[in-house]
Amino acid sequence: MSKQEAKRENHYQITMTIASDMLKKGLIDEEEFDRFELRMREKYKPKFSDIFWGKSA
C-alpha cells in the first residue's frame, strides 16, 4: 500500500467513525448515513475499509 492509499484509508476511517457516532446520537438517519458513506467511498476509494464497515464497494 502506498503512502497515498494509506492516507486515504485513514481519512475514510476517521470520517466514517464520526458519521457513525452522529448516526448513533440521532443527528443523522440511516438514509443520510448511507448517502454520505457512498460519497466518501467515491472520494477516498478505500480498499480495506470493507473489513471494518462490512459493505462492499
Question: Which pLDDT score is estimated for 16?
Answer: 94
55: left (phi over 0), alpha (psi -120 to 50) or beta: beta
31 located within any domain: yes
The predicted structure's pLDDT at residue 30: 96
* pLDDT in the model for residue 56: 41
Structural domain range at position 41: 3-45
Q: Flag whether 15 is in a domain.
A: yes
Residue 10 corresponds to which cell in the numbers above? Answer: 485513514
Is residue 50 domain-resident? no
23 in a domain, yes or no? yes
How many domains, the chain?
Answer: 1
Q: What is the pTM of this model?
A: 0.80
Q: Tell me, what's the pLDDT at 1?
A: 85
pLDDT in tens, the chain (57 residues): 899 999 999 999 999 999 999 999 999 999 999 999 999 999 999 987 766 655 443
Is 51 within a domain?
no
Q: What is the DSSP letter of 28?
A: S
